[in-house]
Structure 1
Amino acid sequence: MVKIYTVEGYENFTEKVRELENLMGEDEKIIILFSGSRSDEGVSWCPDCVKAEPVIETILKKYEDNESIYFLHVSVGERTVWKNPHCEFRTDPKLRLTSIPALVRWKGGQRLIEEECSDESLVELLFEEE
C-alpha cells in the first residue's frame, strides 16, 4: 500500500524527507506534491493546485497496492509566504521550486509543474518511471 504523509511548512518537510529516506529500501521511491496551504474549508488558495489534486488522487488510487511508493503532500504555506522570493522552498538548492503545484520524484530528477500536474498521463508516467 502506498504510504501517504502530509506536512505543512519547510521545516516539517525536511524532517519528514529525512525520516522517509531512512525508511526506504533500494527499490522504493518518494514522490512529493508541493501545493498551496488549504483554508479551513479544505481548499488551497492556489487554483492550479485545486485542479491538480483530483488527478493526482486518481493516480494514487491506481497505485494504492504498490508498497514501494512513499507519497508526501507538502503545503508550502499561505500565498504571501510562497510569493516571498526568499521562501525556503524556492531557495533550497535541492528544490529550487519556481511554481506550484509541483510534483517531484525525490532523488530522481523528474518534475511536473503547474498544469502538467493536471495531465493524468504525465502524472502516471512520473509514478511509473524508474
Structure 2
Amino acid sequence: MKRITVNSSDEMIKAIESVSSTCDKIWLLFTGSKDATGQSWCPDCVTAHPVIESCLSEYEKAHDGAEKVAFITVEIDRADHKNLNNYYRTNKDIQLKCVPTLMLHGQLNMRLAEDNLTDPDLIDELLTL
C-alpha cells in the first residue's frame, strides 16, 4: 500500500495524479492537522486514528501488501475546515462534511465518517469492497 500524507488540496490532487496510473483503489482519509506534539486539533480524529491504523495494517497483511492500493491522508487545519467554502466541502467529488472521513476516491457513497471510524468491522468492510 502506498501511503501519502498531504496538507493542502493542491498536494492532494498531485498525489492522486501520481498514483492513479498504478493503483486500482485510492483511499482518502480527511483528518484534522497535527500540532508540534503530533496531536490533531480534532478529538474524533485522535480517537479514530489508532483504529484506522490497525485496520490498515490488517488489510496490508491480508492482501500481501496491497501493492495496487494508495492511502492518502489529507490533513486539514482547523480554520480551513471551519470555512464552509473550502475546497473539500465545495468539490462535487468530495463533499466533505466532517472529519475524520474515509472515502474511496471517485465514489461518494463509499465513505465512513466520525464515530463510524472507531468501528473496526465497518472499516474492514469498507476497505474490502
Q: Tell me, in whole angstroms, the C-alpha distance in 2 between the residues paired with 1:35 and 1:44.
A: 8
Tell me, yes or no, if the aligned pair for 2:6 and 2:72 is still in contact at 8 Å: yes
Q: Partner residue of 2:107?
A: 108
Q: 2-side partners of 1:38 and 1:48: how far apart?
A: 13
Percentage identity across paired residues of the two chains: 34
- 1:79-94 aligned at under 5 Å gives the runs 79-94=78-93
Tell me how far apart the structure 1 counterparts of residues 101 and 59 of structure 2 sit (CA, whole Å): 19
Alignment match, 1:48: 44
Q: What is the alpha-carbon distance in structure 2 between the residues aligned to residue 106 and residue 81 of structure 1?
A: 21
Pairwise CA distance, 1:19: 1.6
Q: Give the secondary-structure state (helix, strand or coil) at the position aligned to 2:20.
A: helix
Runs of 4+ in 1 over 3 A off after TM superposition: none
Rounded to whole Å, the distance in 1 between the matches of 2:66 and 2:12 is 23
Matched, 1:67 2:67: yes
- Corresponding residue pairs, total: 124
Q: Within 2, Cα distance between the matches of 1:71 and 1:108? A: 15
What does residue 8 of structure 2 align with?
9
- Stretches of structure 2 that go unaligned for 5 or more consecutive residues are none
Q: In 2, distance between residues paired with 1:107 and 1:11?
A: 17
Aligned-partner SS, 1:14? helix
In 1: Cα distance, 2:126 partner to 2:22 partner: 21
Q: TM-score, normalised by structure 1?
A: 0.90
Residues in 2 aligned to 1:115 and 1:85: alpha-carbon distance in whole angstroms: 21
User: Per-residue deviation at 1:89?
Assistant: 0.7
The one-letter code matched in structure 1 to 2:47 is: K
* Kept after mapping to 1: 8 A contact 2:103/2:112: yes
Q: Deviations over 1:81-113 (max 9, x none)?
A: 110111111111110101110000112340001
- State how far apart, in whole Å, the 2-side matches of 1:50 and 1:15 are: 26
What value does the CA root-mean-square deviation take over the aligned residues?
1.1
Greater shift in the superposed pair: 62-71 or 31-40: 62-71
